[in-house]
Amino acid sequence: MNASTTSTPLPATPSPSRSFVSAHPMWISVVVLLLVIACWELAPAVFGIPAFIVPKASAVAREFANAFESNRLVYHTLMTTWQVVVGFVLGSLLGAAGGYLLGLSRTVEVVLSPYILALQIAPKVAFAPLFVMWFGFTVYPKILVAVLIVFFPVLVNVLTAIKSIEPQTINLARSFNATRSQVFWKIEFPASLPALFAGLRIGSTLAVIGVVVGELVGGNFGLGFLLTLGEGQANTPLVFVAIIMLSLIGIGAYFAVELLERRVLHYLPKSSN
């Protein structure tokens, strides 16, 4: 007796629904921002914090309007942004070039590493007065401090990526008669790109710090100058205005690098979380 066996399909397991937080991260971020502003507005009055220590959010908002009219906030913001971009680009190029140079030549690494390490250990703030003495109250001291701060993270990331490449991969390419330039452009350079962009993300925020340090030491324009001006006038809201604008510049630089990274490294698998 031949009995036909029919298989009963199992009921489909419903996929877990995404939570509201994971489905709408931007809205949650906006809500958190509004809560922070509300707490900022209420906390000074509730806890009796003097206005010269932490002003209300409304006072900082009024100072924003005043800074646009009286303190040329747009001009100072553009000047700082321009210096951050130039310092970041130059520092990144020098750091990447140094990382590749040290990674591809053991001799160069042994010769130059002590001097690069000494340059990194020296506090960058100490260079700012020296640059002001050399170049005066111009854009060059701020840009140079930014270059110094950005240089080392990019260099270390690239150097680490180059040195972590499996030697067997390079030996295999050489067994197929690949030239030195082909090994670099086909293997070493692509393998270093994720680490390079990691260093660029770090450098994009550090560039803001470098420029501000230069502006604080010897600046007559830029947001660092507004910080000094607010301090001299005991104008705490103006100091908060400058800090907020500096934070926005750093956030914009970070996301610009992240956007470029997504365009360049689009082939890498993305996390499913």
Predicted TM-score (pTM) of the model is 0.84
| Class of CATH domain 55-264 | mainly alpha
Domain ranges of the chain: 22-54, 55-264
Mean pLDDT of the chain: 85
The pLDDT score that the predictor gives to residue 212 is: 92
* 109-151: pLDDT as tens digits: 888 888 888 888 888 788 888 888 888 888 888 999 999 999 9
Following DSSP, what letter does each residue of the chain receive, concatenated?
------PPPPPPPPPPPPPHHHH-HHHHHHHHHHHHHHHHHHHHHHHT--TTTS--HHHHHHHHHHHHHHS-HHHHHHHHHHHHHHHHHHHHHHHHHHHHHHHH-HHHHHHHHHHHHHHHHS-HHHHHHHHHHHH-SSHHHHHHHHHHHHHHHHHHHHHHHHHTS-HHHHHHHHHTT--HHHHIIIIIHHHHHHHHHHHHHHHHHHHHHHHHHHHHHH-SSSHHHHHHHHHHTT-HHHHHHHHHHHHHHHHHHHHHHHHHHHHHTTTSPPP--
Higher pLDDT, 25 or 188: 188
> In which band, very low, low, confident or very high, does the pLDDT at 1 lie, cut at 50, 70 and 90?
very low
* 212-237: pLDDT as tens digits: 988 888 778 889 999 998 888 888 99
